[in-house]
Amino acid sequence: MSFKPYLALSAAAGSGKTFALSVRYISLLFMGESPSSILAATFTNKAAAEMRQRVVDSLRHLGENEAFLEAVLTQTGLSREELFKKQPEVLARFLSHTSYIVTLDSFFSSILRSASLELGLEPDFVTKEQGTDELEKHFLDEVQAGGLLSNLVRLAIDIEDKRFGKIFDLMQNFYKVDPLLPKSDYEVKNIKQIEDEIDTKREALHKIIKDAGASKTAIDNFRPMGVKALSGKSVFAKETLLEHRNYKKYVEKNPQIDEMFLALKDLLATWMRAKESIVLHNLFTIYDYYRNANITNAKHSGVLSFDDLTYFTYRLLYESISKEFLYFKIDSKFKHILLDEFQDTSTLQFLLLKPLIDEIFAGSGQSEFRSFFYVGDTKQSLYRFRGGVEALFDKVAEDYGVKILPMDTNYRSSKNVVEQVNHWFDGIMKGYVPQKSREGASEGYVEVVESEELIEEAVIQAKRLLDLGMHVDDIAFLVSTNKDGQTLQEACQIAGIE
């Protein structure tokens, strides 16, 4: 038997990660594990449904896919006779028991529903991506009720972006990682007092340099000006004025000039820290109202966004209930965890899974059989907008001592496509593992066209392919941003490509 209890697969596109995930799940069933003791989580409902169906189909038609059969035999250490003898029983057990082949969101939702009253939520809440209009209204109502509209305006000025939408986006991003935010106990100092001290020292330095007969350029660095303008002067990039050619001879004659400069420089640093503290204080004060608006909106409407779901589940697991109560509520104790598309898992989502993973490793030295497995491809991180952190892939392996194995054979793409992908990613991605083509793969074709007008060139290439007889549905454009996609779509429409 070659079953590795603790394993991560770094899987490139087309390398068979879905195959590997299914083999592992079915192998666990043949090794006598109950479906209710296995958590297999992925990111989309479609992927979860496909995996459930694949498990059923594979169990029903076990002998029809030789590669799959061999993989299960290798994992379980069973003979063919033993495997086929167990097949009906394993299939019946899977169909009759509760299984947890789910999305992370639906799993967190089930946890939250089981103890929603603990947090003041109705158990029949609905989860969906809600619009921002109602939330913005709740947010502004909260801010106004708290008498903090002036703070909101000051915040917009301080972050040099007067568009409310940008501040609202910032609040949303904070909410995604709320439990990870630092405590908002920033000391607010008397900024006016510091500015007065700066102006006094600046004036004294200005006078002594002027009296020393320095050049106009040297004198002007310390002329009367606002503190922000003064702090931006390049002269403060020097450690001392002795290092600056415009001041060196004057400092050598009168070291007091450098002492005054250093005192002014220290005061400017104090001023900048004080300004940062004020901005952060305003930021977190306003964010407290945003979070409260989210909580109020979720409780009153019965509609939770995916960010709400993560936020409330975290509060439930880390502030309200014990893990024993959690197991009681979900009526299961997971001995095996399988995570798909791990590169899209956010730090917060991982923290929600961590108590379950810790429980598996806590019992790893006991006789009870447990395992932890995850698979992903950091090049394909699609959920950064939900907080997906590809660096988590290596960090988790390091923290838990999980071995990472590369799946570096591409079974889907042609040789030239694989070679071109290797060429691109090897130059831009640290630690990139080059892919290999499968034996017998077709040569394929890749053409790289250089152009300063990328949109226009893409349209030209599409028209060329259409003229060669290709159907428009067989042509795909990959772009970096939605804005690029919209621009390209408009260009295609103008060119008559629909």
Sketch the domain layout of the chain as residue ranges: 6-110+322-407, 128-187+276-307, 191-268, 447-495
| Stretch among 16-30, 60-74, 269-283 having the lowest mean pLDDT | 269-283
Mean pLDDT computed over 336-365: 86
Give the C-alpha distances (Å, rounded to integers) separating 435 from 2, 27, 348, 431.
24, 27, 31, 13
Q: How far apart are CA 27 and CA 77, in angstroms?
A: 10
Q: What is the pLDDT of residue 131?
A: 55
Q: How far apart are CA 153 and CA 138, in angstroms?
A: 17
Task: Give me the percent of the chain exceeding a pLDDT of 70.
Answer: 84
Q: How far apart are CA 29 and CA 24, in angstroms?
A: 9
Cα 78 to chain centroid distance, Å, stands at: 40
Mean pLDDT computed over 103-130: 87
Q: How far apart are CA 292 and CA 300, in angstroms?
A: 12
8 A C-beta contact, residue 310 and residue 352: yes
8 A C-beta contact, residue 33 and residue 369: yes
Does the structure show a pLDDT above 80 at 326?
A: no
Distance in angstroms between the alpha carbons of the first and the last residue of the chain: 54
8 A C-beta contact, residue 284 and residue 185: no
Does the structure show a pLDDT above 80 at 319?
A: yes
Per DSSP, helices labelled H in 31-148 are 45-60, 66-76, 80-96, 104-114, 133-145
Does the structure show a pLDDT above 80 at 366?
A: no
Using the structure block, give the residue that is written with the tokens 């899974």: 353
| Domain 6-110+322-407 CATH (choose: 3.40.50.300, 3.40.50.1980, 3.90.550.10, 3.20.20.150) | 3.40.50.300
In this structure, how many other beta carbons lie within 10 angstroms of the beta carbon of residue 157? 11
Instruction: For Cα atoms 351, 357, 358, give the angle at the middle one, nearest 5 degrees.
Output: 90
Summary mean pLDDT of the chain: 82
| Stretch among 65-79, 189-203, 420-434 having the lowest mean pLDDT | 420-434
Task: Report the amino acid identity of residue 442.
Answer: S
Q: Which residue has the higher pLDDT, 473 or 135?
A: 473
Mean pLDDT computed over 7-30: 88
Cα 458 to chain centroid distance, Å, stands at: 31
Q: Which of 371, 409, 374, 380 is nearest to 393 (CA)?
A: 374
Give the C-alpha distances (Å, rounded to integers) separating 201 from 114, 219, 323, 471.
64, 14, 60, 74
8 A C-beta contact, residue 9 and residue 343: no
Task: Report the amino acid identity of residue 14.
Answer: G
Q: Which residue has the higher pLDDT, 130 or 444?
A: 444
Who contacts 325 (Cβ-Cβ below 8 Å, separation ≥6)? Answer: 115
The edge-to-edge listing of strands for the beta sheet with 403-407 is: 100-103, 38-42, 336-339, 371-376, 6-11, 403-407
pTM equals: 0.71
Q: What is the pLDDT of residue 102?
A: 94
Q: What is the pLDDT of residue 48?
A: 92
Highest mean pLDDT among 58-62, 236-240, 483-487: 58-62
Does the structure show a pLDDT above 50 at 204?
A: yes
Q: What is the pLDDT of residue 383?
A: 45
Mean pLDDT computed over 39-55: 92
